[in-house]
Chains A and B, each alone.
Chain A
Amino acid sequence: MARPVKPPTPSSTIPSKAAALVVLALCLSSLGFFAGRHSVDGEPTLQISDAVSNSNGTSVVPRKRVSETSDLSKVTIRNIATIPFSQLYDILRAATSEQRMAWARELEQMPSGLGQRVAVAAYYKSLIQVDHRAAIEGVLHAGNLRARDVAIDAMTKAAPESTWGDLAEMLEELPFAGSVFGGADLFGNWSRVDPVAVSEFIEKYPLTAKQRDRETGDDWRMSALIRSWGEIDPAAARSWLEDDASRQTQGVAEALLTSWGRVDRAGAIEYAVAKAGQPQFASAINELVYQFIRFAGEDATRLLAVLPTSQAQAAVKNVAAVTSPLPEEVNGINDRGPEYQRPPEEVAHWMITLPLELWQENIGPVAAKWMDETPDAAKAWLNQLPPASRDTAIASCCHAAVLGYHSREPAIEIGLTISDARLRDAAVGALVRRLETSVPGAISASRIINELSVSEQQKAYLRTFITGKPYAE
């Protein structure tokens, strides 16, 4: 017989329930407390040790971001660049110098490649702003030259304006400085804000002959300096150059005249005239003339009027060469920037206003290029010139075609319209003979003549330059 279950009496069940509840409450509160602690993210006190990993390719981003990233293999050291500067600033500022050096060494030990480049760049880009001396120390003691060069490039870009001098000194102290490419920006930027300091630096650390440009003897730092100084204070820049003749090299002379010309055209013209005849200033004067054409055509004319004829001719020849470069020279012109080269119609209009001896040999390439681009407009312009000027300009076009400036067929066609018979024979004859020698065999020259859009009579005239038989009308 089953024993009847005795119902619990209130006096025995209530304390045991309460005890169970208390135990349960204690357990739950402990669990809740620890869950609460673990729910706090470590990010608010981000440490660089979280941000910069060792060379195992582990995370460099804050823990929170890592945990949010499903594929850890994609979270690499390069992500240090995604840490906001304000966070890196606080971390780096709070770190000891030993710690900063340790981080620098740690970055050097990373496997070489993209991840290292990005991490090194991000680190030094920030450190140069927080403590530029620490950044310089890091670079000076770097053992990994490739990583070091990345660091120098990053530092040069982000450096506060007051640190240029120290960075330049650093470049002088670097072991194996031959591999550094970041110097040009540094001297360019420094010269914009303190050219006198740059000039003193250059005097203190002269380049050896081997370090200068092999062809021109230029010191690239001087060119960078004068390019800015000539705009800021041309008189001071000139005075510094003239203190030592060895400073007046071709590139530096060009930097002075063109920068001066940007802020004081009259002063630059006067100085150019004074220096005309000095070989190292020849290309500088040419460049100044071209710069005036770009920004102030009337000053180009004014300068040419006061230059010795030979220098003026050379300058106009340079204008033609820049406006209408030979195919093999196109890249050199293009590398000077998209706005550098002026349209041929603009240059032709300006050139024809010069004295005949300056344009007669130079207008050809310019007009020839114009004819290649918009033939009708170019021909209309040539046809409206006074007869003598027109003949000379068209003869110049034919000569340019001989030299390979543009296609020869249009030049032959327009050459036939030269009114002066002797000039026409000379100009067109040279062009047809060039056809004969530049294409394989006279048959090809004849074919070209046959295909020209000119009358049969004119074709017969042209053929005489191939056969040598006199033309009989």
Chain B
Amino acid sequence: MRNRARWVAVLALAGVTVLAFFAGRQFEASAQAAKARARSTSAVAQLPAPEIEPPAYRQLAVTEILALPFWKFYEALRSAPEGAREKWASELAAMPDGPRRTAAVSGFYKLLVQFDPTAAVKAIRAIEDVKMQCVALGAAVDAAPGSAMPKIAELSLSLENATETVSSRDYLLDVLFAWMEIDAGAVGRFISQHPETEDYLHRLPIRQVLIPVLTRTWAEADPAEARRWLKGRGSEGEDALLSEEFIDGWYVSDRAAAVAYVLAHSGESGFLGGVGAIVRNLYSDSREEAAKFVQSLPEDVGADALREAFRRHPLGSEEAGDTVRTSRAFASWMTTLPPAYWQGALGSAFFSSTEMLQWIEEQPLAIREKASEEFRSLGDSTVSDAAAVFQSASPDLQERLLTAMLRNERHAPSATEFQKSLDASSLSPSQQQRLLRILQLVSAEKNAASSAKTAKDFADDQ
């Protein structure tokens, strides 16, 4: 009897506790909802009056999408049942070809892919008019959220044979580029799981940039995973591990490890891109650190690294709001290093002879003399660059710059070609004579060097 009373009491207590638990849940949920309503009401109150009541999907024709405020169509589409969405898709297919249909198709699929990617994929796959299918696919590719990327990538791959007959857009490439920013590992796995993607990527040069960009992005997100995946790709992947792309990404995710690794391997062949990547990134973050890094390298590697740093990543310009990664800033920084590091590399900082010329003229004497030996023709014609030298530099500096420019020409012009260019130029006769004299001196110097090399090679062969 006593036991029974005890059990009743225990059960009653348990019941009270459970009831209290749910009462607490209910209370908290109501409180949060009330807070949300208050916030929402105050915000919605600022919206235009018509937005308060979204229209029912039955009131809207999809063909009028362009004329509708976005929110109206969005609310209607969101609340519409699947059948209504299918009806809209068939309405779109029935529209005559033209800008209105393009706008409606693009708007519809851009939206649908964002809240029901499965329905969007199904509907796009069912479109029979390939031109319209391309518009729909393009919209889906552009607007797809991260969660929809796998489906859209599969769709793009499966429709490639059809879409490439009417559109020059590379839908799959576009999806993969957008997707890798969100989840590079997923893109790597997609490529591994769809071997046909490898063929697709190798078919056009423009697609061959995907793997290097994926390497960089993945190394930025998760270098260990990226390394594992690349190692699984054989020699191509092993090479990628030494590439500037991998080092670039790794630098962002773990700067110290990337710098230490590159320093330890800086002398190895095929690694120059990685060394250049560290110089470029350190330069952007801290010029002092960059200088320390370069001086930790062997002198010959240091010069190559400086030349490599911005070879494939053009320097910015002040016009584009960049004051650090400009030719002038990079060159000025280079010359804070001992000349052995930047001789032979200084010219790689500039894209215009005129800009290089102006920069050299502004330097203190000691730097100016050394830097003038690096001057080179970067424009369309050596003669027109020579004209710029004649206009702006002092006679003494002119001689140095012109000699350096002709000496640094990779493909020296023949005397006949050079004379033709001179005849067509605005240079005065005395300037032309002076230039010809320097060309003869430089040619003689190059010939002598070439003969000496041939004699040495011959002696070595013997």
**B165 on the A face (CB < 8 A):** yes
| B103 near A161: Cβ-Cβ < 8 Å | yes
| B206 near A335: Cβ-Cβ < 8 Å | yes
- Residues from chain A with a CB closer than 8 A to the CB of B321 are 145, 175-176, 178-179
Contact of B16 among A25, A96, A161, A175 (CB under 8 A): A25
Contact of A178 among B19, B27, B67, B320 (CB under 8 A): B320
| A114 near B181: Cβ-Cβ < 8 Å | yes
Contact of B99 among A45, A232, A340 (CB under 8 A): A232
| A21 near B20: Cβ-Cβ < 8 Å | no
Return the CB mask of A172-215 against B: 1 if under 8 Å, else 0.
00011011000000000100111100000000000000000000
| B40 near A94: Cβ-Cβ < 8 Å | yes
| A178 near B317: Cβ-Cβ < 8 Å | yes
In the complex, which residues 62-109 of chain B have their Cβ closer than 8 Å to any Cβ of chain A? 65-67, 70-71, 74, 78, 98-100, 102-103, 106-107
Bound form: Cα–Cα A129–B103 in Å: 15
- Residues from chain A with a CB closer than 8 A to the CB of B25 are 36-37, 39-40
Contact of A37 among B28, B165, B221 (CB under 8 A): B28
Bound form: Cα–Cα A21–B114 in Å: 56
**A93 on the B face (CB < 8 A):** yes
A-B contact pairs, 19 of them (CB 8 A): A21-B12, A29-B16, A29-B20, A32-B18, A33-B24, A45-B32, A45-B33, A45-B39, A82-B146, A86-B115, A94-B39, A114-B181, A114-B217, A157-B143, A158-B143, A162-B66, A179-B320, A337-B204, A339-B165
Total residues of chain B contacting the partner, CB 8 A = 70
| B27 near A145: Cβ-Cβ < 8 Å | no
- Residues from chain A with a CB closer than 8 A to the CB of B206 are 334-335
| B168 near A336: Cβ-Cβ < 8 Å | yes
Bound form: Cα–Cα A36–B30 in Å: 12
Given contacts A89-B74, A339-B165, A40 and B28 within 8 Å (CB-CB):
yes
A148 CB to closest chain B CB (Å) equals 9
**B55 on the A face (CB < 8 A):** no
Nearest A residue to B23, CB-CB: A33
| B181 near A179: Cβ-Cβ < 8 Å | no
**A78 on the B face (CB < 8 A):** yes
Given contacts A32-B16, A232-B98, A338 and B316 within 8 Å (CB-CB):
no
**A331 on the B face (CB < 8 A):** yes
| A45 near B36: Cβ-Cβ < 8 Å | yes
| A96 near B142: Cβ-Cβ < 8 Å | no
- Residues from chain A with a CB closer than 8 A to the CB of B261 are none
| B164 near A339: Cβ-Cβ < 8 Å | yes
| B23 near A36: Cβ-Cβ < 8 Å | yes
| A36 near B28: Cβ-Cβ < 8 Å | yes
| A96 near B46: Cβ-Cβ < 8 Å | yes
| B32 near A334: Cβ-Cβ < 8 Å | no
- Residues from chain B with a CB closer than 8 A to the CB of A94 are 39-40, 43-44
Given contacts A28-B13, A45-B36, A193-B99, A85 and B43 within 8 Å (CB-CB):
no
A142 CB to closest chain B CB (Å) equals 11
A258 CB to closest chain B CB (Å) equals 11
**B151 on the A face (CB < 8 A):** no
In the complex, which residues 297-350 of chain A have their Cβ closer than 8 Å to any Cβ of chain B? 331, 334-340
In the complex, which residues 340-394 of chain A have their Cβ closer than 8 Å to any Cβ of chain B? 340
- Residues from chain B with a CB closer than 8 A to the CB of A118 are 181-182
**A468 on the B face (CB < 8 A):** no
A57 CB to closest chain B CB (Å) equals 12
| A34 near B32: Cβ-Cβ < 8 Å | no
Question: What is B's interface to A at a CB cutoff of 8 Å?
Answer: 9, 12-13, 16-29, 32-33, 35-36, 39-40, 43-44, 46-47, 65-67, 70-71, 74, 78, 98-100, 102-103, 106-107, 110-111, 114-115, 135, 142-143, 145-147, 164-165, 168, 181-182, 203-206, 217, 220-221, 252, 316-317, 319-322
Bound form: Cα–Cα A39–B32 in Å: 13
In the complex, which residues 39-83 of chain A have their Cβ closer than 8 Å to any Cβ of chain B? 39-40, 42, 44-45, 78, 81-82
A342 CB to closest chain B CB (Å) equals 13
| B99 near A117: Cβ-Cβ < 8 Å | no
A137 CB to closest chain B CB (Å) equals 15
**A24 on the B face (CB < 8 A):** yes
- Residues from chain B with a CB closer than 8 A to the CB of A24 are 13
Contact of B252 among A40, A114, A337 (CB under 8 A): A114
- Residues from chain B with a CB closer than 8 A to the CB of A38 are 24, 28
B396 CB to closest chain A CB (Å) equals 34
- Residues from chain A with a CB closer than 8 A to the CB of B143 are 125, 157-158
| A160 near B115: Cβ-Cβ < 8 Å | no
- Residues from chain B with a CB closer than 8 A to the CB of A179 are 316, 320-322
| B66 near A161: Cβ-Cβ < 8 Å | yes
Given contacts A35-B21, A178-B317, A331-B205, A81 and B16 within 8 Å (CB-CB):
no
**A113 on the B face (CB < 8 A):** yes
| B24 near A157: Cβ-Cβ < 8 Å | no
B86 CB to closest chain A CB (Å) equals 20
- Residues from chain B with a CB closer than 8 A to the CB of A402 are none
A127 CB to closest chain B CB (Å) equals 11
| B24 near A34: Cβ-Cβ < 8 Å | yes
| B21 near A39: Cβ-Cβ < 8 Å | yes
* 9 smallest beta-carbon distances between A and B, as pairs: A36-B24, A32-B20, A176-B321, A29-B20, A157-B142, A33-B24, A179-B320, A32-B21, A85-B114
